[in-house]
Amino acid sequence: MSGNSIGTILRLTTFGESHGIAIGGILDGVPPKIPISKKEIQKELNKRRPGSKHTSERKEKDLIEIFSGIFHGYTTGTSIGLIIKNQDHKPKDYVNLKNIYRPNHADFSYFKKYGIRDYRGGGRASARETAIRVAAGAIAKKYLYQKYNLRIIGFLKQIGDIKCNTIDLNRVTKNKLFCPDYDCLPLIINLIKNLKKQGDSIGAKIGIFVENVPIGLGEPIFDKLDAELAHSLMSINAVKGIEIGDGFKCVNQYGSKSYDEITPQGFKSNHCGGILGGISTGQNILISLAIKPASSISIPIKTINIYGNRTVIRTRGRHDPCIGIRAIPVSEAMVALTLMDHDLRNKAQCK
């Protein structure tokens, strides 16, 4: 139980290093007779896949293979084995990084903790690991959509100083940057282009919107729905902040002015972000995430090697100017896995 599993009834366990043979996972606890195809999973993976001009140029097809648990197009209730072979792994690229702690990367903390590490491309700490989360999340999304018509939409809220003022969720899936504001889109494309040229990276703010949420998801006290969403989202590489509903805007709100009035027709507002007492209210769930700028940049930065000597590092090539973009499908997947787990937990105890 060294951290490679998440969930209680629906439980994802993963393995794999960035430049090993494959990454993979086991999704356990999926009910039987859910229709799911390889194509549906692949579609989600393609959203996260690198290789576009806005993201890393590492060429990974991220082809999903299903080894078990799905039979004749339906889940069987047994554990689902998911594998993605690594294709464009060039371990040689990393030999020069073998003994260096890249700043803001996990190199330092992994080496201090384990005394040994697979240094190729971040090894286990690489965000490549998140591809399996997306694959598993595709199954959870399907389950939730089929059962509740529930949809999870992640989108760019801000990147650097560019804020999306118009949040048009219909637009999100129509551009590869998950941008909801067409006025911002050219500005963002330009920003990314410049960052690529300069070899720099930038942070971002992600929004997540969930509609058609059933009432009653979430277990009180420690496994509150918001607490478990915070857990699963903060486990995504580079996430440094999370807000539910009004989030940090609460700090200077008055109780008399920021409460969500309940009327016979339902709630009149949604300051709470769809969760009260850790349990979903049936309103839309609203989340924001802060994503730090990628640590791998081609501008030289100062650090030390494992012997404690000063050195300078410059990460060449294939990296993301804004990891906030590819973090969006990963965030959606984590929300889907958490909600589905809580739906099963609720079913166990309350229905």
- Site residues for a copy of itself, window 253-292 (CB under 8 A)? 253-256, 258-264, 271-273, 275-282, 290-292
Report the residue number, 142 or 170, with the smaller CB distance to a copy of itself. 142
CA distance 319 to 148: 38
Task: Output the smallest distance, CB 255 to a copy of itself, in A.
Answer: 3
CA distances 104 to 100, 107, 109, 289, 297, Å, are 12, 8, 10, 18, 11
Residue from 294, 330, 333, 335 that binds a copy of itself (CB under 8 A)?
A: 294
Asked whether position 338 contacts a copy of itself by CB under 8 A, the answer is no
Asked whether position 346 contacts a copy of itself by CB under 8 A, the answer is yes
Tell me the per-residue interface mask from 222 to 241 with a copy of itself, x by CB under 8 A, - otherwise.
Answer: xxx-xxxxxxxxxx-x--xx
Q: Nearest Cα to 323, choosing from 290, 298, 286?
A: 290
Angle at alpha carbon of residue 100, lines to 97 and 104, rounded to 5°? 100
Report the residue number, 111 or 174, with the smaller CB distance to a copy of itself. 111
Q: Nearest Cα to 322, choosing from 239, 147, 212, 200?
A: 200
> What count of other Cβ atoms lies within 10 Å of the Cβ of residue 209?
19
Task: Output the smallest distance, CB 69 to a copy of itself, in A.
Answer: 6
Q: Nearest Cα to 62, choosing from 141, 134, 143?
A: 134
CA distance 214 to 319: 39
Asked whether position 348 contacts a copy of itself by CB under 8 A, the answer is yes
Report the residue number, 79 or 170, with the smaller CB distance to a copy of itself. 79
348 annotated to bind ligand: no
117 annotated to bind ligand: no
Cβ-based neighbours of 16, under 8 Å, separated by 6 or more? 22, 23, 24, 84, 86, 124, 128, 129, 132
Tell me the per-residue interface mask from 142 to 171 with a copy of itself, x by CB under 8 A, - otherwise.
Answer: ----------------xxxx----------
Residue from 39, 149, 197, 309 that binds a copy of itself (CB under 8 A)?
A: 309
Report the residue number, 21 or 174, with the smaller CB distance to a copy of itself. 21
Asked whether position 202 contacts a copy of itself by CB under 8 A, the answer is yes
> What count of other Cβ atoms lies within 10 Å of the Cβ of residue 161?
8
